[in-house]
Amino acid sequence: MKQFWSAMLELARALCERGQMLVTVESCAGGLIGAACTAVAGSSDWFERSLVTYSNAAKSEMLGVDPALIAAHGAVSREVAVAMAEGALRESHADIAFSITGFAGPGGPDDEPGLVHFGCARTGRPTRHREEHFGDIGRGPVRVKCMRVALQMLDEAL
């Protein structure tokens, strides 16, 4: 845990040094990334906003994700994770947007528990994607692993 907070402070420092702002948009993580960001003193200098877009309607209404894209690929997909990150970047005043969509626990009969897609969009750069298969380890552990991946991807984006 100490390593996580050290990485979070490093992210904050790097964003501040660059004068950049971050926006997060989360589905299966339920706002944990945003909560971790705001736990850092002075986060208003680098953290612009966080959105929890749990439903498909929220993804469409708040981020402009095309409902046809969700219908074609599913809410838990590379395409939707990328669209979420790009929509968050477009709808905010941030320079970097991070998205998470996945199955934190058991879902429907064809859902893979622990399957998570991540997106990271940055102004002037191609949007990045990462897919993880954490397994059926439970909702809490999947969400914690999502936080670690978020820090890794954001570090790489900077």
| Domain extent for 18 | 2-157
| Residue 137 dihedral angles phi and psi, to the nearest 5° | -105, 0
CA–CA separation, 57 and 63 (whole Å): 10
Q: Which helix (H) or strand (E) holds 11?
A: helix 2-18
* Pairing verdict, β 96-102 and 22-26: parallel
How is residue 4 written in tokens?
């996580």
Query: Strand pairing partners for 47?
Result: 22
How is residue 71 written in tokens?
């219908």
CA–CA separation, 117 and 22 (whole Å): 19
Instruction: Tell me if the pTM is above 0.75.
Output: yes
For residue 10, which amino acid is it?
A: E
Q: Which helix (H) or strand (E) holds 22?
A: strand 22-26
Nearest to 45 by CA among 73, 17, 77, 76: 17
pLDDT at 140: 92
Query: In the chain, which residues have pLDDT < 50?
Result: none
pLDDT at 105: 83
CATH code for the domain of 22: 3.90.950.20
Q: Which tens digits make up the pLDDT trace of 2-39? A: 788 888 899 999 999 999 999 999 999 999 999 999 99
For residue 71, which amino acid is it?
A: A
CA 144 remoteness from chain centre: 12
pLDDT at 20: 96
pLDDT at 2: 73
CB-count exposure of residue 28 (10 Å: 0-12, 13-18, 19+):
buried
Number of domains making up the chain: 1
pLDDT at 1: 64
CA–CA separation, 15 and 131 (whole Å): 25
